[in-house]
């Protein structure tokens, strides 16, 4: 069985549509085990994401924050925040994901609902995420709201007032988040420039992964010396630049394998010096050879 793979553009923006213009909401049950490499890789999208963790646990990363989330907890992931999730100890984690575009709350562009109540949160990179804990009353109310939305989507998605009920609940959630962040606003520092630098590095690696890209190239693009670039990347991504480059090349090779390209050609196209080295790294990340992966997809 093949796993799910997050499809992204070169800048790591997710390609997937989360609902549509008429109803920009997507409600879906997920499992970390269903993803390739048992992880959903770094990506971002303009939609806000709310998650309720049903069972198990997961390592959940948002921008420069690293969380260990457990069953019963929830997560608020802000618009345009880079995020990724990883399986822990080979144990699955089931969760419910609700994504919605901010315009679902504010409606008209530049309305007071947007400028006062939505942009206030979504434009602040420092407020990229929040773990929702059931022992905190107002956060537990959000978790219960997420459950209610999911229940509605399962038992009555064709009812004449389904979309209206979902809209009301999401507005209630947003009101609670707004009240929380208003309280924090006096003591919260300005959005941090390092988040844009991190995105620039990720975009550069993705755009040049198939080339003979060097650490010097990446550091120069980021405006850092090589040692500082390595330290910066390791601090926020929890992996080395080289490991991320290899992982990106493996991810880029997967659709080529499905197109039945020659493995030697694929290795060259995605940036590996030889098919043998490609096969070695592929097995490290995917747990099987490129040929076995291709056979499993047939």
Q: What is the pLDDT of residues 196-220, one digit of tens each?
A: 788 788 889 988 999 999 999 999 9
16 lies in some domain? no
Domain co-membership, 147 together with 215: no
Domain co-membership, 34 together with 177: yes
Q: Model pTM greater than 0.85? A: no
Look at the chain and report how many structural domains it folds into. Answer: 2
Domain co-membership, 162 together with 234: no
**Could you give the percent of the chain with pLDDT greater than 70?**
96
Q: What is the pLDDT of residue 236?
A: 73
Q: What is the pLDDT of residue 45?
A: 92
Token pair 């999730």 in the structure block, residue: 85
Domain co-membership, 198 together with 180: no
Instruction: List the beta bridge partners of residue 94.
Output: 31, 55
Q: Cβ–Cβ contacts within 10 Å for residue 1, how many?
A: 5
Asked if 15 and 21 count as a contact pair (C-beta separation under 8 A), the reply is no
Parallel, antiparallel, or unpaired: how do β-strands 65-70 and 94-100 relate? unpaired
Q: What is the pLDDT of residue 155?
A: 87
Domain co-membership, 219 together with 150: no
pLDDT in tens, 88-115: 998 999 999 999 999 999 988 778 998 8
175 lies in some domain? yes
Any residues with CB less than 8 A from the CB of 72 and at least 6 apart, and which? 53, 134, 143
Range of the domain at 152: 25-184
Tell me the mean pLDDT in the region 173-183. 95
Domain co-membership, 121 together with 167: yes
Dihedral sign for Cα atoms in the order 198, 204, 210, 213? negative
Q: What is the DSSP letter of 37?
A: G
The CATH number linked to 276 is 1.10.10.60
Instruction: Look at residue 190 and tell me whether its pLDDT is greater than 60.
Output: no
Instruction: Look at residue 48 and tell me whether its pLDDT is greater than 50.
Output: yes
Question: At 1, is the pLDDT very low, low, confident or very high (cuts 50, 70, 90)?
Answer: very low
**Kind and range of the H or E element at 86?**
strand 83-87
Asked if 78 and 121 count as a contact pair (C-beta separation under 8 A), the reply is yes
- Pairwise CA distance, residues 62 & 43, whole Å: 10
Where does a domain end: 158, 184, 210? 184
Domain co-membership, 179 together with 204: no
Domain co-membership, 177 together with 262: no
Question: At 294, is the pLDDT very low, low, confident or very high (cuts 50, 70, 90)?
Answer: confident
Nearest to 150 by CA among 228, 52, 241: 52
Longest dimension (CA), the chain: 59
Dihedral sign for Cα atoms in the order 202, 206, 207, 209? positive
Asked if 19 and 167 count as a contact pair (C-beta separation under 8 A), the reply is no
Asked if 53 and 93 count as a contact pair (C-beta separation under 8 A), the reply is yes
Domain co-membership, 144 together with 209: no
74 lies in some domain? yes
pLDDT in tens, 128-150: 999 999 999 999 999 999 999 99
Asked if 61 and 27 count as a contact pair (C-beta separation under 8 A), the reply is no
Domain co-membership, 257 together with 286: yes
Any residues with CB less than 8 A from the CB of 228 and at least 6 apart, and which? 219
- Pairwise CA distance, residues 246 & 264, whole Å: 17
Mean of pLDDT over the chain = 89
**Kind and range of the H or E element at 132?**
strand 129-132
pLDDT in tens, 263-279: 999 999 999 999 999 99
- Pairwise CA distance, residues 80 & 13, whole Å: 8
Domain co-membership, 40 together with 126: yes
- Pairwise CA distance, residues 51 & 27, whole Å: 10
Instruction: Look at residue 39 and tell me whether its pLDDT is greater than 70.
Output: yes
- Pairwise CA distance, residues 45 & 67, whole Å: 20
Instruction: Look at residue 189 and tell me whether its pLDDT is greater than 60.
Output: no
Instruction: List the beta bridge partners of residue 104.
Output: none
Domain co-membership, 32 together with 171: yes
């Amino acid at each position: 069985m093949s796993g799910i793979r997050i499809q992204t553009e070169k800048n790591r923006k997710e390609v997937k549509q989360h609902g549509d213009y008429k109803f920009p909401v997507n409600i879906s049950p997920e499992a970390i085990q269903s993803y390739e490499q048992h992880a959903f890789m770094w990506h971002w999208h303009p939609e806000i994401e709310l998650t309720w963790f049903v069972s198990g646990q997961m390592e959940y990363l948002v921008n420069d924050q690293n969380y260990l989330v457990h069953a019963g907890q929830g997560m608020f992931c802000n618009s345009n925040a880079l995020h990724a999730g990883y399986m822990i100890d080979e144990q699955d984690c089931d969760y419910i994901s609700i994504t919605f575009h901010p315009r679902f709350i504010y409606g008209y562009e530049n309305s007071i609902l947007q400028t006062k109540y939505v942009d206030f949160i979504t434009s602040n990179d420092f407020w990229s995420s929040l773990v929702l804990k059931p022992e905190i009353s107002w956060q537990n109310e959000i978790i219960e709201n997420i459950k209610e939305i999911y229940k509605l989507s399962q038992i009555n998605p064709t009812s004449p007032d389904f979309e209206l009920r979902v809209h009301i609940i999401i507005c209630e959630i947003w009101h609670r988040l707004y009240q929380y962040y208003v309280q924090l606003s006096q003591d919260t520092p300005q959005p941090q420039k390092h988040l844009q630098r991190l995105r620039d590095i990720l975009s550069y690696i993705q755009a040049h992964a198939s080339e003979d890209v060097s650490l010097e190239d990446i550091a120069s693009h980021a405006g850092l010396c090589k040692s500082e670039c390595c330290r910066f990347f390791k601090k926020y991504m929890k992996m080395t630049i080289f490991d991320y480059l290899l992982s990106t090349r493996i991810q880029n090779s997967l659709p080529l394998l499905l197109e039945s390209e020659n493995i030697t050609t694929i290795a060259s196209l995605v940036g590996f010096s030889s098919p043998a080295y490609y096969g070695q790294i592929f097995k490290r990340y995917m747990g099987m050879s490129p040929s076995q992966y291709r056979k499993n997809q047939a």
